[in-house]
Amino acid sequence: MLIDIESVLGNGSYRIKDKEKARVFATVCHEGLTTRKRLVEILGIRPTTVSNSIQQLVEDRLVLEQDLINSGRQGRPEISLGPNFDRICAIALVTVSQKIRGVLINLGQQILADESRELDREAGNRALTRVLEDLLQSLLDKKPPGSEVAGIGISLPGDVNGETERWLFNARWKNIRNFSFRKIADNTGLPFRLIRMLDAELGYQLLEHPEYGKGGTLLFHWGFGIGAAYANQGTVNRSTLGSFIEIGHISLAGNMRKTCTCGEVGCVETEAALWSLIEEIRRIQPDAPEDETLFSGYLSTIPYDQVSAILERAKTTIVESLNVLYRMFYPDRILIYGPFTDNPSIESELKDQFRQRIPSFARNKVRLVIFHDRNAAGKIFGSTLELFRRSLQDYLVVH
């Protein structure tokens, strides 16, 4: 599990015994199967403290007592203890190509249910409301018996204003504008967290790789759309408007004339985003998919030289975009992901060309990391981590 349970209580006004209880539960989760005696040995705290904490965690069904363990020595056999990850679960909503994907996950980051609903390219706010209500109800029906739903994490592309709880704009569905999630959340009676997709992804990467919290970290996505996020000293930067580093909707060259989904002309996305390239690629490869995950696999199965001219143009635009962002933030590292960089040839050329464009004194200072967002893990878990934290707080306080 990714969540650091010991940090759930933070540095607030919690008592020592509360933090000890959090340590006990964290150790049970990390050990998988343990005993009270083993917990005392690992944590170095009093047996009565461990016993009292375990008793309360068992009563709250966060810890399960299982089969007796016989150590081979005389005396009473020990009762084994294991985490009940299904005790708390959450729902994550993300976009995948032209679909809305809903995932029910538990405290241990295990996927309990995974469903998607197609949303027509011309769909508007009403159609989105119907799809979300249907998807949420289906996932809630699959909740394990006795499980508590911590809330709904919503991670979306485009302009997302978490403060006003609205999805302002996105490149995939041009008719979905200024969409409010408040009514849908109220109908479920659950807490919800609305976050920009790239912010959720970057937050997840910072937790999974603590070393990224030192200095500046730039996240860059090259896929169906193009966007970026930035964190300084482990804190993701955001704006009150819901937009930040809209590199995909900036014009970098005066000769770009194609109209973008945002209504402007000559945006970076018109030259390099999958939504813009797919029509040209399909003239050569008619069955090329526009789903990012499928496109990544597809690109590795076709003769690369057939589409190299198209992708070379796009790569040039991406290199220039990265150059601009680097000169703005001078990050210590740049994390890049998407279906195009899954291709080893594109990955290698992108790194080489980027280093040639940036100042010579910086070439050995910045680290480029290509990673693969398998199964949208960053967006799913990045949008729900805070919900799990909030839900756990009351349980970790000693009764």
pLDDT digits (tens, 9 = 90+) for 321-380: 999 999 999 999 999 999 999 888 899 999 999 999 999 998 889 999 999 877 788 899
For domain 205-376, is the CATH number 3.30.70.260?
A: no
Provide mean pLDDT across the span 308-317: 92
Q: What percent of the chain has pLDDT over 90?
A: 65
Residue 72: pLDDT over 80: no
Q: Strand 216-222 vs strand 226-232: parallel, antiparallel, or unpaired? A: antiparallel
139: nearest Cα among 108, 183, 165, 105: 105
Q: Is 75 left (phi over 0), alpha (psi -120 to 50) or beta?
A: left
* Cα dihedral 295→127→382→185 (10° resolution): -170
Cα 123 from Cα 139, distance rounded (Å): 22
Alpha-carbon separation of residue 312 from 103, 144, 274 (angstroms): 36, 49, 13
**This model's pTM is above 0.95:** no
The predicted pLDDT at position 1 comes to 62
Provide mean pLDDT across the span 307-331: 94
Cα 187 from Cα 144, distance rounded (Å): 20
Q: State the alpha helices, DSSP H only, in the chain.
A: 16-31, 36-43, 47-59, 125-141, 182-188, 197-208, 268-272, 274-284, 292-299, 308-329, 344-357, 377-396
Residue 12: pLDDT over 70: no
The predicted pLDDT at position 101 comes to 95
Architecture of the domain whose range is 5-83: Orthogonal Bundle (1.10)
Q: In the chain, which residues fall in CATH 3.30.420.40?
A: 87-200+377-391, 205-376
Contact assessment for residue 246 and residue 227, using Cβ atoms and an 8 Å cutoff = yes
38-62 per-position pLDDT tens digit: 999 999 999 999 999 999 999 999 9
The predicted pLDDT at position 14 comes to 81
Architecture of the domain whose range is 87-200+377-391: 2-Layer Sandwich (3.30)
Residue 98: pLDDT over 90: no
The predicted pLDDT at position 291 comes to 86
Alpha-carbon separation of residue 363 from 220, 315, 346, 354, 369 (angstroms): 18, 19, 19, 9, 14
The predicted pLDDT at position 203 comes to 92
151-198 per-position pLDDT tens digit: 999 999 988 988 888 999 887 898 999 999 998 888 999 999 999 999
Residue 2: pLDDT over 70: no
Quick one: pLDDT band at residue 264, thresholds 50, 70, 90? confident
The predicted pLDDT at position 74 comes to 60
The predicted pLDDT at position 82 comes to 94
